[in-house]
Chain A
């Protein structure tokens, strides 16, 4: 599954096909799903792009799917397609964090514009999330001792002081430091501090 893609969930095949055709006419790649349950089974937290979701569907409704995705930690932007009389429900969904809703009958190009806006919004989110994920993977490679040494480096302590505090030889501290830089793919303590600052001070764990 290409991570950056527009997902269309609608029970009506004609509507699915028409929406895919419309999106394709504006150069937006899409994937169609014929029910909420099927989409949920293939969904993951790292989906990027946009979700066009019909509110009224047999089985699991659009709103229910939205709630389930939020529960899974998936923050894919969702645009609801609502029929007549579903507006209050859509407004509630918007308050709960849906990206937007559009009422049928809709202006199709306006819909595509909303989809594009959602994709752009989500691209930033995905980038942010992927770098953080990468950093976390690097941090996970550090050993317990290396982690302790790294915290003291970030606090600006000298190798000698670190060696005294941890009761190890100065030489050993230098070996740890070089391993840390290597694993975190940085060249200096300043760079290390910058990289970790982006993560929001979550290095204590």
Chain B
């Protein structure tokens, strides 16, 4: 598996920072946009309110003007009948007041300005007294009379908290001024009469005098007002009067409040979620970093291993190999991953065996203690590996493949083999040395009497040649006879030594002995790559010494293995067959080796004859002697398929 190198950490942090700018920017834009929107809508509201205020104030001013103009007309209609008869005047005045005209007093002045009639006449006398000259205003009277048009007088205070003003309407009769009808307006009443309730609810309407002094106010409730009012000049009556309207604090519309509130809440929620997200991401980042570090550590560990690791899925497909494995087999990871059996590194000569063990592992029956296999490297060299397979379990506990660890044991096997050969050579040398010692000692033992005999005889011959009497010669010849007897005794002693251990005789199952002998030579067979095929048709039981018979089989098998030293490994085969016929067990061992040529065949069973460089030439001689001691025969013949067949015939045990 190839892994991308993790990006450099500072680079990664920079990228993260950039990723974080975006949501932050978006959030700021969002909040800004929402704020702007709210502000704009507020302004639009304000402007609308102001427009309404202006139009309301203008409307009020129009209304007042209409009131005053109508009153002027009403007053102008006063006729002689009204002006002469107080009763008629009173009824006229009542009519005029009844129109909600805002008028509070009607006064009739004759052409000279004398007050003729007044309604209500019972005006506050003290006031009248105090302002006897001022009310009604002479100046306004004269102006009205001279102009012939209605004239408004300046406002003046009435009692402490009210103001009133007069309108002088000249009345003409028969082309000349008959008098002036004076209507007195009280500001508070005027406002009360002419300002409708709905307007008064929304605004505080006041009349402001010259110096900004508030002369009269119409207000429904005493509540706070905004400072942004609007005023228009109040003309008529003029005199610098102005109408001023200030809107009450109107509660903001619920929808707008809800909208703002929800936007704020939304922004908070966004901010909060952003914060949570950031915290989550940071935590995740930390976990990722830890994971990456862990991964890098594990990868470094795997890469530094000398042990080859190879993972396969349940179908036997390679899903992972580590560098050590690649080095071992010489194939790269990309070539191996995804490969299905047969794998390129399986050795052709051991394909069946390899496939069998492969299938066993996939079936979950792989040997737990590991197994040895031969692999072929890409360069054609063979290596021995020791493999341990373990199941791969994922995080959900699912078994999804097999992980195999391999150790290259080629060198170890080679060393083992060398050590084994060394040991073998050592043993054979030791055997040779021991045998040489024994032979030498035997030779000395025999040489002594023989030398003595030779000396006596030569001496006798010398004497006889010199015509010596027989009496001189006979003692020497007697001694020579003694010495020849002594030589015979030496030989008998050696023979007795060789016969020292008496053989056991018991029932021997030849098939069992074959198994035992194969077990003894198994390491050699495996190391040389020799296949053994067994054809044990019958169970053959004979009487004899099991150990000696096993030794015979071992010797013959060993000869067979060694005869195939020079031929190709894949054709090294030994066939062992066992049959019984005519009261004899027939055991044959056939090899595919170099065979035995006729010169060798003559001396094959002679003691001390050998074709092997380090052989002693005793093996086959002993074999034949053992077989013959069991009343059997040991023969050999040419194997038709190449090589040699050794046959052992042994009498079967009587039932």
Contacts and interface: CB of A to CB of B under 8 A. Distances in A.
Interface stretch (A15-23, A31-39, A66-74): A15-23
Contacts of A19: 455
Chain A, interface residues (CB within 8 Å), range = 20 to 34
Given A18-B479, A105-B451, A85 B440 contact: yes
Interface string B232-243: 000000000000
Interface in B432-481: 436, 440, 443-444, 447-460, 462-463, 466, 476, 479-480
B483 A84 contact: no
Chain B, interface residues (CB within 8 Å), range = 20 to 34
Interface in A40-73: 56
A25 B464 CA distance: 9
B653 to A, nearest CB: 46
A18 B483 contact: yes
Contact of A108 (B459, B466, B479, B483): B459
B458 A109 contact: yes
Interface of B: 436, 440, 443-444, 447-460, 462-463, 466, 476, 479-480, 482-483, 486
B469 to A, nearest CB: 13
A146 B136 CA distance: 210
25 contacts: A12-B452, A14-B448, A14-B452, A14-B479, A14-B483, A14-B486, A15-B452, A17-B452, A18-B456, A18-B476, A18-B479, A18-B483, A21-B456, A81-B451, A83-B443, A83-B444, A83-B447, A85-B440, A104-B451, A105-B447, A105-B451, A106-B451, A108-B455, A108-B457, A108-B459
Contacts of A56: 444
Interface secondary structure of B, over-half rule? helix
Nearest to A12: B448
A14 B459 contact: no
A183 interface: no
Contacts of B463: 25
Nearest to A11: B448
Given A18-B479, A84-B440, A85-B440, A104 B447 contact: yes
Contacts of B443: 83-85
Interface string A81-115: 10111000000000000000000111011000000
A180 to B, nearest CB: 53
Contacts of B457: 108
Nearest to B476: A21
A85 B293 CA distance: 76
A179 interface: no
Contact of B456 (A12, A22, A105): A22
B458 A15 contact: no
A72 B436 CA distance: 36
A26 B479 CA distance: 18
